[in-house]
Every structure is written in structure tokens, then in C-alpha cells.
Amino acid sequence: MADSITITDNRTGESLEVPILDGGIDAKAWSKLLPGIWFHDPGFGSTSGAASSITELDGEAGFLRYRGYPIEQLAESSSYLEVAYLLIHGELPTPEQFENWRYEITHHTFIHENVRKRFMEGFHHDAHPMGMLVSTIAALSTFYPEARELTPDVMMKQVVRLIAKMPTLAAGAFRHSVGMPFVYPDNSLDFAANFLSMMWKTAEPRYDANPVLARALDVLFILHADHEQNCSTTAMRTVGSAHADPYVATAAATAALYGPRHGGANEAVIRMLTEIGDIEHVPAYVERVKAGDIRLQGFGHRVYKNYDPRARIIKKTADEVFEVTGKNPLLDIALKLEEVALSDPYFTDRRLYPNVDFYSGLIYQAMGFPMDMFTVLFAIPRTAGWLSHYLELLDQDSRIYRPRQLYVGHPVRDYTPIERR
């Protein structure tokens, strides 16, 4: 067998040849030879939990593809709604298919009034928008009980609703957190422009977003639409494998994203650049990083061991945004930090390159978004990716997720009544 490995149990001398298929081996072969012995892989860094046709990511080569299409081509020529269709359906839409898709998304942007009045307005005045978003997504499950019927037609209705309503919930959470009135969707606007209207509209009859900023946001949405089996996608698949409805599964994925180690990286970059304070302080800060005193935020990636392809696109998008908004004062510090780090063998030898978070926060900040909205802006586009994995999981009739563990606790011991302890 050409592409295979041989597993030998040295205790018995028994061997088993296992084929390598699509870069992996089937764990069933291991279990057959060595029952009761588990791979110990905390964080699942070397474990494939799914066979997926959605996103291909090669961290060594530094490429990212949605359904086979390079992210560079999609960011240059496509739109977020077209990419969302691609992720969900597996193919790019025809003009007629796209128009129907756009119409369906556009006309499902409104939320039930009780979601706004009973849930969103019930949160404390300074509630974090991400906490509000998690809760209101889960609440949608109670408004659409048919979502528990996991049939294709019913599921597609929920997919449309979730993609359409996510910007409405996100903008509503922000407005509540700053004491501003809720803004209803404007269905005459496209996806990104409508979200910006719900965010920033005040007393004007219609809010027309700057087209450069609306396009920049659309590109950022494309770049964040999916990223293979990360923490939040794994949460989506895990909850979905129990056949929970897509609303509570999406709420679980959003909750995972809320964690600072996943969705909060671009906030950490802004805090780091603010702490550095001046371009003259960059070399000293880098030395502190090399000494192990602090971490360099926005560099390196769990998967990418090369330059994150999304970072190159975002850097170009940043230039376009800053021509409209004026340059973010932190940009010069960021550019100097990138220059110093990429000319230092300490970072290049460790293959620490800028990732997608290094510049995205600067763009969001320049567009007026507060830092507690950064993760919310991540969740809006990632919804399409999460849902594509949810649908794939159902289509594969996947088993319920149930990892095993290595028990390291006490051996068996006898119970002692409390009065004798």
C-alpha cells in the first residue's frame, strides 16, 4: 500500500497497515488494534473531527479557499451575499439564483417586536453587545419552533432568517448599549449599507453610507465568512450534532466567539498599539516581547505558519478606508511594528507573521466602531460559515460528538460517612 502507515503494538507484536486518505487516517483502524487507548490531543491540534468540503486552509502554503475559490479572488470581485450563497449551496449562483437569494435575505431582516421590546430593551443599559447578541440569537429559537424539524426546506428558511437578522440584532445591541433608539432595517439598501444605516442613522430620513466604507465592510465580511474548524465552528458542529436547532447552535458558536482567545484578538491589537503609544517606543516594546515579558498581538496563528492571506487583503482595504476617514493615528505604530518584527530573525524563524486581526481593528476603529463591537462584527459574516457547517453535518448524518478522555484522578476508593471524616 503506497500511501499508508503501519501501526505496531510492541506489547504483542501485532501490526496493522492503515491507508492515508485526504491527508488523514481513519481512527477506527487504531481502535481496532488498540481498543481502550486514546490519542491525547488537548485542543484537537492534530485531530480531524470532520470531513468537510467547505473551506480549504493550508497554513504552510498560506492559502484560504471557500469551496475551491481563492479568498483573493472572492474579496476582489464578489460580495458577501454571493459568498454566503457559495458557502451554503456549494456553488456560485446564477444571476437569477442570486437575485432570489438577495431578495429573500433582504426581506427577512426585520425581527419580531417582542425580541426588541422584551429581550433587547430588558438588558442593563451598559450590557456588552456581544452578550446581548448571544442571548437574542438563542431567543429566536422560541419564535420559530418549527426549526426543530431538521428537513431541508425548513432548514433553508432558518438559514435565510439567521443571515438576514444577524445585522439587525447586532446593530440593535449596539444602539441599546449606548442609549440610542432602535433603527429598523432599510430594505432598499444592500447588506453592508443596511447594517451601517442601522448603526449610525440619527434623524435623517435615510442614511446613505459612504460607498468606500460600505465596500470595505463587505470585503471584511467576506474575509471573516469562514475559517475551517476553529473554536466557534467546532462549537456549532458539536451542538448541531445533538440535533439542536440552528438558532441555539448559532448562539453556542457566538458564545465561543465571545471568548477573548477567539474573537477578541483585534481588540488586543488596538490595546497593544495604544500601550506602545509612539513609533519611537516600538523597538523597546519588541525587545520586551523577545524577553518573554509580553505577547506580540496580531502576529502568528494557530494554523498559518506563513503570512495570513487575509492580512494582505486587509492591509490594502485599510489604505482605502483611511483615504475617506483620515489615517488612524495608530497606523504608523502598526506599520513600524510590522517592519521591525519582519526584519528580526526572532519572529521570522518562529514564523510569526501578521494575521487578519492585526489591521482589522484599525479599520473598524477608523469607521467609528467601538472596541466592544469588534467581535460582533466578526459574528455577522461568520454566521454563513457556521450555518454551512451545520447543514453539512446534517447532510452527512454525523454521529453526536463525544470525545474521550484520559482519566488522571483518584483510583477506586470507599465512601466514608461524614461523621467519620
Strand ranges (E), 23-72: 55-58, 63-66, 69-70
- Residue 326 to residue 212: CA distance in whole angstroms: 13
Backbone angles phi, psi at 8, to 5 degrees: -120, 130
DSSP-H helix ranges across 181-297: 191-200, 211-223, 231-241, 246-258, 265-276, 282-290
Instruction: Please indicate whether residue 301 is annotated as part of the active site.
Output: yes
Return contacts of 142-148, CB within 8 angstroms, 24+ apart. Answer: 143/112, 143/114, 143/115, 144/245, 144/247, 147/245, 147/246, 147/247, 148/245
Q: With 0-12 CB in 10 A as exposed, 13-18 as middle and 19+ as buried, what is 43? A: exposed
Residue with cell 432599510: 186
At 189, which amino acid appears?
L
Active-site annotation holder among 218, 224, 357, 389: 357
DSSP code for 43? G
DSSP code for 118? I
Q: What H or E segment, with its residue span, contains residue 19?
A: strand 14-19
Instruction: Please indicate whether residue 262 is annotated as part of the active site.
Output: yes
Active-site annotation holder among 112, 128, 262, 281: 262
The dihedral formed by the CA atoms of 80, 322, 357 and 234, expressed in degrees to the nearest 10: -20
Active-site annotation holder among 226, 301, 308, 389: 301
Q: What are the catalytic residues?
A: 262, 301, 357
